[in-house]
Amino acid sequence: MTWSRLVLTDIDGSMISYSGDYTGIRESIELLKSVKVKVIPVTAKTLAEVVYLDGKLDIGGGDLTAIVEMGGSICSKHYIIPGCDHVNIEGYKCCLIGRPLWEFKDHVVEALRDCDYIALSQASPQEAEVILGIERGEAILATKRVTLEVLWSQNIECLKAKLEKLKLRGLEITVGRRFIHVGTHYNKGAAVNKLIETPIFKGLNTIGIGDSEIDLEMLETVEKSIIVPQEDGTLRVKPRRSDHIIAPYPAPKGWVWTSNMIALGLI
């Protein structure tokens, strides 16, 4: 299919509620496809998680392309990113933006040896289920990490106190509400920039949808930005550009509203 526009979207809190509700999303994706708009997930989730979600929502229509692990890699079955070394993951050709985590995991262990924590890539199924608060099968998919380590601790302050040691090793750190993300790549925006320069996508109008601070660079890379509010109506991200749009509802209703507006040509 020849696409007319690209929607680059965060998943948790933007497309799907943090409680897991995705009411109306599959129908909204179908609507966007009908007007030749391609939806590309841009998420901290692993490729395994996105492929599983694609099975529920048919995001790719048999042609899934996704930016995963917070910009760590760009994965597709059919599109090749020029000038990139590709590896095969889950049957997808993935352009690695960040270095594989096994190249830096020893630095993480060394820097955090005085802290009690769980690295998600090394978590048991039971540990992953508990710390993520999701069903075990999906939690296992979240452990299939390639470029981004996710750290959890009951004493997250201990981890925060050691972050300078990780930065001295050339690692990039993102501190969230419950987790600390560690990798060698910078952010979602860098991967989006690389993707939209791919010949098949170059020149297409781009729309970004996000809800939190880790979406900021992506929202500032695309041509039009939509922010999805939290359940209480507050905003967790505000691009420096002044032309962003705020959806009137949290996920998933806000994403459904946004897709309708895009399909009507109002965004």
- Does residue 67 contact residue 191 with C-beta atoms inside 8 Å? yes
**Residue finishing a domain among 183, 205, 223:** 183
Q: How far is it, in rounded angstroms, from Cα 196 to Cα 205?
A: 10
Is residue 170 located within the same domain as residue 122? yes
pLDDT tens digits along 204-215: 999 999 999 999
Is residue 31 located within the same domain as residue 138? no
Is residue 161 located within the same domain as residue 145? yes
Q: How far is it, in rounded angstroms, from Cα 174 to Cα 153?
A: 15
Range of the domain at 71: 5-98+187-263
| Residue 89 DSSP class | E
**Residue finishing a domain among 168, 183, 198:** 183
Is residue 165 located within the same domain as residue 223? no
CATH of the domain at 42: 3.40.50.1000
Total domains in the fold of the chain? 2
pLDDT at 257 over 80: yes
Is residue 199 located within the same domain as residue 238? yes
What angle, rounded to 10 degrees, do the helices at 25-34 and 47-57 form? Answer: 80
- Does residue 3 contact residue 38 with C-beta atoms inside 8 Å? yes
Specify the pLDDT at position 80.
81
**Residue finishing a domain among 134, 164, 183:** 183
Per the model's pLDDT, the better-predicted residue between 65 and 240 turns out to be: 65
Is residue 167 located within the same domain as residue 228? no
Using only C-alpha atoms, the chain has a radius of gyration, in whole angstroms, of: 18
Give the residue-averaged pLDDT of 82-97: 90
pLDDT tens digits along 116-151: 999 999 999 999 999 998 899 999 999 999 999 999
Band of pLDDT at residue 53, cut at 50, 70 and 90: very high
